[in-house]
Structure 1
Amino acid sequence: MKTAPDWLRLARNHDYRLLWLGQTISTFGESIYQVAFYWLAYEMTESAWLAGLVVFCASAPYLLFGLIGGVYADKWNRKSLMLFCDLIRAVAVAVVPALALAGMLTVWHLALIAFVLTSARCFFHPSLNAAVAGVLDDDTRALGVSLVEGGFRAARLIGLALGGILIELWGADQLYTIAIVTFFVSIGFVVPLRNVGHAEGEESEDNLLGALGGTLRFLQGHRDLFWGIILFGVGLMFVTGLERVALPHVADQNWGAGASGFGWVLAMITIGYVFASLVIGRLQIKNPSLYIFGGWALWGVFFAALGLSENIWIALSFALLVGAVEAVVDIPLVVLIQTKTPGNRMGKVFSMWSTIAFIGESLSALMIGALISQSTAPAAFIMCAAGTVAMAIFGLIASRSRASDEPQALEGGKS
Structure 2
Amino acid sequence: MYRTIWMNKNIRYYLLAGGVSRLGDILSGMAFLFLAYDITGSNLYTTIMAMAETLPYLLFGLIGGVMADWLPKKKLLIYLDLARIPLVLSIVGLYYFDALTYGYLLVISFLLQSIGCFFNPAHRAVLPSITKNEERTSANSLYDTLTRGVTVLSPLLTVWLLNSFGTVHLFTIDALTYGISALFIARLQWKDATAPSEKKSLKTLYKAIMEFASWAKAHSTIRNLFIFTFITVFFNTWVWEVGLLLALAELSEKSEELYSIQQGVFGGVVILTNIAIPYFIKKMTLRHYLIGASIWGAGIIYYGALYDLKHFFIGGAIVGIGLPIAGLARGYLLQTLVPERKLGRAFSTNAVLLYFSNTISLGVYGLLVTFISIQKLMLGSGLIILLISGGALLFRTVNMAKFRRSLPVNFFK
TM-score strictly above 0.5? yes
Residue of structure 2 equivalent to 1:413: none
- Tell me how far 1:367 sits from its aligned partner: 2.1
Residue of structure 2 equivalent to 1:356: 353
Residue of structure 2 equivalent to 1:337: 334
Contact 2:134–2:283 (CA<8 Å) still a contact in 1? Answer: no
Structure 2 Cα separation of the partners of residues 261 and 59 of structure 1: 27
RMSD over aligned CA atoms reads 2.5
- Tell me how far 1:387 sits from its aligned partner: 2.1
Instruction: Label 1:300 to 1:85 Cα distance change in 2 as closer, same or farther (>3 A).
Output: same
Instruction: Label 1:286 to 1:55 Cα distance change in 2 as closer, same or farther (>3 A).
Output: closer
- Tell me how far 1:162 sits from its aligned partner: 2.5
Structure 2 Cα separation of the partners of residues 44 and 148 of structure 1: 36
Q: Deviations over 1:131-155 (max 9, x none)?
A: 1121110111111111111111111
Contact 1:41–1:55 (CA<8 Å) still a contact in 2? Answer: no
Q: Does 1:138 align with 2:126?
A: no
Q: Deviations over 1:148-189 (max 9, x none)?
A: 111111111111343244324432222111111111110110
What are the within-5 Å matches in structure 2 for residues 11-30 of structure 1?
Answer: 11-30=6-25
- Tell me how far 1:310 sits from its aligned partner: 5.1
Contact 1:31–1:160 (CA<8 Å) still a contact in 2? Answer: no
Residue of structure 2 equivalent to 1:79: 74
Q: Does 1:249 align with 2:273?
A: no
Instruction: Label 1:396 to 1:255 Cα distance change in 2 as closer, same or farther (>3 A).
Output: same
Task: Specify which of 61, 84, 92 is matched with residue 97 of structure 1.
Answer: 92
Structure 1 Cα separation of the partners of residues 190 and 398 of structure 2: 33
Structure 2 Cα separation of the partners of residues 127 and 389 of structure 1: 33
What are the within-5 Å matches in structure 2 for residues 31-110 of structure 1?
Answer: 31-110=26-105
TM-score (norm 2): 0.90
Residue of structure 2 equivalent to 1:230: 227
What are the within-5 Å matches in structure 2 for residues 10-409 of structure 1?
Answer: 10-195=5-190, 197-199=192-194, 202=196, 207-284=204-281, 288-309=285-306, 311-393=308-390, 395-396=392-393
Instruction: Label 1:171 to 1:340 Cα distance change in 2 as closer, same or farther (>3 A).
Output: same
Q: Which shifted more, 7-16 or 161-170? A: 161-170
Instruction: Say which one has the larger Rg.
Output: 2
Contact 1:36–1:172 (CA<8 Å) still a contact in 2? Answer: yes
Structure 1 Cα separation of the partners of residues 345 and 328 of structure 2: 18
Task: Specify which of 7, 14, 18 is matched with residue 2 of structure 2.
Answer: 7
Instruction: Label 1:203 to 1:256 Cα distance change in 2 as closer, same or farther (>3 A).
Output: farther
Paired residues in the alignment total 398
Instruction: Label 1:124 to 1:395 Cα distance change in 2 as closer, same or farther (>3 A).
Output: farther
Structure 2 Cα separation of the partners of residues 60 and 398 of structure 1: 37
Q: Aligned with 2:188: secondary structure? A: coil
Structure 1 Cα separation of the partners of residues 104 and 396 of structure 2: 45
Q: Deviations over 1:226-283 (max 9, x none)?
A: 1112321221111111122111111222244321111111112211111111111222
Structure 1 Cα separation of the partners of residues 124 and 191 of structure 2: 11
- Tell me how far 1:341 sits from its aligned partner: 1.0
Greater helix content: 2
Q: Which shifted more, 290-299 or 269-278? A: 290-299
Structure 2 Cα separation of the partners of residues 398 and 48 of structure 1: 47
Q: Aligned with 1:374: secondary structure? A: coil
TM-score (norm 1): 0.89
- Tell me how far 1:43 sits from its aligned partner: 2.9
Instruction: Label 1:371 to 1:78 Cα distance change in 2 as closer, same or farther (>3 A).
Output: same
Q: Which shifted more, 159-168 or 92-101? A: 159-168
For structure 2, the 5+ residue unaligned runs are 405-413
Residue of structure 1 equivalent to 2:408: none
Contact 1:308–1:378 (CA<8 Å) still a contact in 2? Answer: yes
Contact 2:28–2:171 (CA<8 Å) still a contact in 1? Answer: yes
For structure 1, the 5+ residue unaligned runs are 1-5, 408-415
Instruction: Label 1:330 to 1:203 Cα distance change in 2 as closer, same or farther (>3 A).
Output: farther
Contact 1:224–1:399 (CA<8 Å) still a contact in 2? Answer: no
- Tell me how far 1:12 sits from its aligned partner: 2.8
- The residue type equivalent to 2:276 in the other structure is V
- The residue type equivalent to 2:128 in the other structure is A
Contact 1:228–1:399 (CA<8 Å) still a contact in 2? Answer: no
Instruction: Label 1:398 to 1:352 Cα distance change in 2 as closer, same or farther (>3 A).
Output: farther
Contact 1:247–1:307 (CA<8 Å) still a contact in 2? Answer: no
Q: Deviations over 1:179-202 (max 9, x none)?
A: 111111101101111115333x74
Among the aligned pairs, what percent are the same residue? 21
Instruction: Label 1:53 to 1:213 Cα distance change in 2 as closer, same or farther (>3 A).
Output: same
Instruction: Label 1:147 to 1:321 Cα distance change in 2 as closer, same or farther (>3 A).
Output: same
